[in-house]
Amino acid sequence: MNVELQSKIRELRLEEGQNLVGNPYIVGRWVRGADHYDRKSLIEYLLDAQDTAFWVVGTRRMGKTSLLRQLEYLTDDEKSPYVPLFWDLQGCSTPQDLSGELYLAIEDVAERFARLDVDTTCLRDDDAANILRRLGRETMRHGRELLLLVDEAEVLIEIGQTESAWLARLRKAMQEGNLRAVIASTRLLTQLTDQSGSWMTSPFLFGFHMVNLWTLHREGAKALVRQAQSAQPVQADEALVEEILDYTNSHPYLVQYLCQRLFAPDAKDGRLRAVQEDDLEVDQMLASFFRLDFHRLSVTERRILLAVAEAGALDEDGIRARLADCADVRLISLLHALEELGHLRRCDEGWAAGSEFLLRWLQDNSRQLAEELRNEDTPAAGGNDGAADMEALARTLGISPERIQALAGQRITSDGEFFEAIKRFFYEIRYLVEQDDGHKLLVTTTADGAPVLRSEEDVQIALKHWLRPMCRALNIHMDREALTGRGFLDFKFSIGHDFRCLAEVKLFHSARLEDGIGIQLPTYMIADRARYGIYVPIFLDPSGYLEAVAKLEQLAGERAQSHGVEIGVVDIRAWKPAPASRAGEIEERNRYYPDGLAVRRSTETAGHGEPEQEKEA
């Protein structure tokens, strides 16, 4: 919100007798203009450096999107040497999606190119790489330079798994000299280097100058606390400002998050009250961000964070004592990397958690996080923690081509049919796990040979690789770790804006197994205005299994009555099944179909050439 608009809103409030100033702190969306603080030296570097391709790396909520939007805001001027183009990749899963989204981004700012007499309508059906080349050349021909600002670049990882040649062409278009490119993502994008390592040409990220997006400089963070760039600055004494920066480590999101809680409206300009214990609690949204960032670290990095959080602070010798298998040189580099990402900070005792909020989240969840680490079956030296191996195994134990072809022939015309389709996906996964060796993907063993479920992250990765081909067959868009107004849910399925279904996965030993269906999933559904949801509890221990499923189905029925939502429970038994020669009973046929679907299929598809194994499942 710019200064003029803020002033007008205040005038309206005064006219209506509302003499209290509104809360100026912005949490949950990107900012630009007067609302964007600090980063001046970084912005100057990105715009003035001789390099023309940059990769900005930061954790979630460090301000990556805001940085790109600020670059767009500052260069959207006829006197600027640049013509900015913001390209958001979120939600794209194919090269066609990316090309379509790029053209829509151009349409949104068509007047920028019209001022240069650049005709963009001819780009409508072109490929993204060709669009960038042609648009870059046309812009340069008129004495300007295209400034390409790419957000949510992690999407390229999934696309690169099947479309490596296309990705190589896109990289060439970004680096051949006709434009200046700034892409922003988390560190997860390094997977592109592993994927493209076998290219005859250079890997995708080669040639992009990497820039870490750190926390704010101290003076910039102070200005943010006091809203110094606003028409109505906020009153806060120096001691309180220092306390806020200490709790947040000058993290832009956490500063706004805490100050929004502390803001006390005033008739003139507002002030910040003293910090109380309740103000430092971690809500569900913030916990979701921490969880995502934590699970995207290597195993060793996670062990370091847990060790530091448990002790409160540790020097390098103390950390080394708790990680005896970590070499000295590697430890030092990991500590610096965690500091750059904002997960750690230096203190008098050595190293501490990056913020008070992160420290509390780590301590509150230490037992569960440590258990997940113990269940990891990859070496502590880290990397991507087995995601590539998980994908390879998922393909080996995957959906048969015949079943995908059968799905492709279906048509979805109502939200009820959409719900049935998504439910069918999870029944298919249930079949794979329980009848076709798929349990190998969800279960590993401890050092003493006892079977344990893999981490929730690994289980979600396995499900994603099973779900992807089924979704593509029906042209269904799938988001993993989709963001809602109440946090990150596990999976969101959609076709346009009409059909939506949310899914939440829980491991049977989770302390929130019942809350997941009684509170968490319905809350996500309300926030997303979704009528349908699917709850997927994963069990490894047969004892108490039937009672647990019955309770979950009861809660699903209660939520249907109380909130008008429909939640299907698709439990999955991940324990190794007994061989047929020792089986004590035969499975119910409908266990591997949505309710009643098996009977309908046997009559509706008779004589239509259905694959034989489909009938025998």
Q: Is the pLDDT of residue 228 over 50?
A: yes
For range 35-54, the mean pLDDT: 94
Q: Is the pLDDT of residue 362 over 80?
A: yes
532 DSSP β-pair partners:
501, 566
Q: Three-class SS string for 475-541?
A: CCEEEEEEEECCEEEEEEEEECCCEEEEEEEEECCCCCHHHHHHHHHHHHHHHHCCCEEEEEEEECC
High-pLDDT (> 70) share of the chain, %: 82
Band of the pLDDT at 377, cuts 50, 70, 90? Answer: very low
Q: Is the CA virtual torsion 91, 97, 101, 107 positive or negative?
A: negative
Asked if 187 and 296 count as a contact pair (C-beta separation under 8 A), the reply is yes
Statement to judge: residues 104 and 157 lie in one domain: yes
- Is 584 inside any structural domain? yes
Last residue of a domain, one of 196, 212, 228: 212
Domain hosting 77: range is 33-212
> Is 27 among the domain residues?
no
Residues 443 and 502 in one domain: yes
The total number of structural domains that make up the chain: 4
DSSP letter at 440 equals: H
Residue 446 has a CB neighbour count (10 Å cut-off) of 11
Are 473 and 580 in a shared domain? yes
Q: Are residue 230 and residue 256 in the same domain, yes or no?
A: yes
Mean pLDDT of 217-229: 96
2: in domain = no
Q: Is residue 23 part of a domain?
A: no
In a domain, 1, yes or no: no
Tell me the backbone φ, ψ of residue 2, rounded to 5 degrees: -80, 170
Residue 18 lies in a domain: no
- Whether residue 386 is predicted with pLDDT greater than 60 in this model: the reply is no
Distance CA 54, CA 519 (A): 42
Please answer whether residues 313 and 350 qualify as being in contact, where contact means their C-beta atoms are separated by less than 8 angstroms: yes
User: 522 and 409 in one domain?
Assistant: yes
Residue 446 token pair: 């401890």
Most confident of 145-149, 153-157, 317-321, 339-343: 145-149
* Average pLDDT, integer, range 58-68: 92
Beta-carbon contacts of residue 260 (< 8 Å; ≥ 6 apart): 23, 25, 27
* Least confident range of 115-129, 348-362, 574-588: 574-588
For residue 384, what pLDDT is reported? 41
Low-confidence winner among 393-407, 433-447, 588-602 (lowest mean pLDDT):
588-602
Inside any domain, residue 572: yes
Measured between alpha carbons, how far is 270 from 313 in angstroms, rounded to an integer?
36
Same-domain check for residues 393 and 496: yes
Instruction: Indicate the average pLDDT of the chain.
Output: 83
pLDDT at 103: 94
- Domain end call among 280, 300, 327: 280
585 and 520 in a common domain: yes
Within a domain: 10:
no
One domain, residues 202 and 222: no
Co-location of 465 and 608 in the same domain: yes
The CATH number for 58's domain is 3.40.50.300
Instruction: Give the three-class secondary structure for 172.
Output: helix
Same domain, 152 and 254: no
The answer on 253 and 173 residing in a single domain is no
Task: Assess whether 433 and 577 both reside in one domain.
Answer: yes
Query: The CATH number of the domain where 340 resides is what?
Result: 1.10.10.10
pTM higher than the cut 0.75: no
Residue where a domain terminates, one of 233, 257, 280: 280
For residue range 461-508, list pLDDT tens digits in order.
888 888 888 888 888 888 876 655 556 678 999 887 778 899 999 988
